[in-house]
């Protein structure tokens, strides 16, 4: 079963099919990286922090792939508004992935396992529900525009026609094979 955009749903006077095929291939590659479960065994048994990082990686990977599939599926069916909404949520999620990757690399360079654990907890259990945060149940979620602004500062093109975004997404270490 193929995933992604279908050629017949696109205006090829505006888009190049080869660019769309790159998106579809990247999506298929990301879909293959998903795991159905994350067993606490081996290194993941020895370290709760490592297990949480694996859980965070898979959570973000599932979110990215489901949003990308939803974006393509709704576009293919002619539902442009839903496709655009899914695309925006996808961009927001990619921004979060890039931020999380950057912070994890900083923590790893500093060899600060506690900071890795804190970051994993924050990203896994963040919420916009102020009552939950006040009750100590979760962490205050960061506004997604903060992450998007950081992407812009890193040189990612988040406005206009950006054909390099899919390739950039597939290079985010969060999505790399381990």
Model confidence pLDDT, tens digit, residues 86-99: 998 998 898 899 88
At 1 the pLDDT is 56
Task: Say if residue 76's pLDDT is above 70.
Answer: yes
At 129 the pLDDT is 87
How many Cα atoms within 13 Å fall on the side-chain side of residue 140? 4
At 14 the pLDDT is 85
**What number is the average pLDDT over the span 4-19?**
90
Task: Say if residue 30's pLDDT is above 90.
Answer: yes
At 156 the pLDDT is 63
Task: Say if residue 173's pLDDT is above 70.
Answer: no
Residue 116 · residue 53 · CB < 8 Å? yes
At 174 the pLDDT is 45
Task: Write the DSSP string, 140-172.
Answer: EPPPHHHHHHHHHHTT---SS--TTHHHHHHHS
Q: Kindly state the greatest CA–CA separation across the chain.
A: 55
Model confidence pLDDT, tens digit, residues 129-167: 889 888 888 888 887 777 777 777 766 654 444 444 444
Model confidence pLDDT, tens digit, residues 106-120: 999 999 999 999 999
Q: Give the residue carrying structure tokens 């992407």.
A: 151
Band the pLDDT of 22: cuts 50, 70, 90. very high
Task: Please tell me which residue, 51 or 1, carries the higher pLDDT value.
Answer: 51
Band the pLDDT of 32: cuts 50, 70, 90. very high
Backbone angles phi, psi at 91, to 5 degrees: -60, -45
């Amino acid at each position: 079963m193929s995933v992604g955009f279908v050629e017949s749903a696109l205006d090829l006077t505006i888009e190049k099919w080869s660019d769309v095929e790159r998106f579809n291939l990247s999506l298929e590659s990301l879909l293959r990286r998903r795991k159905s479960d994350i067993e606490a065994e081996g290194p993941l048994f020895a370290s709760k922090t490592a297990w949480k990082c694996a859980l965070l990686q898979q959570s973000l990977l599932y979110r990215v792939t489901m949003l990308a599939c939803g974006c393509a599926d709704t576009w293919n069916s002619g539902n442009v508004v839903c496709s655009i909404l899914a695309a925006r949520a996808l961009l927001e999620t990619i921004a979060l992935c890039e931020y999380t990757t950057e912070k994890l690399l900083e923590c790893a360079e500093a060899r600060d396992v506690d900071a890795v654990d804190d970051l994993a907890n924050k990203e896994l259990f963040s919420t916009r529900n102020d009552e939950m945060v006040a009750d100590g149940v979760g962490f205050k979620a960061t506004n997604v525009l903060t992450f998007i602004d950081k992407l812009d500062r890193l040189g990612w093109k988040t406005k206009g026609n950006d054909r390099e975004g899919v390739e950039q997404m597939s290079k985010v270490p969060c999505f790399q094979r381990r």
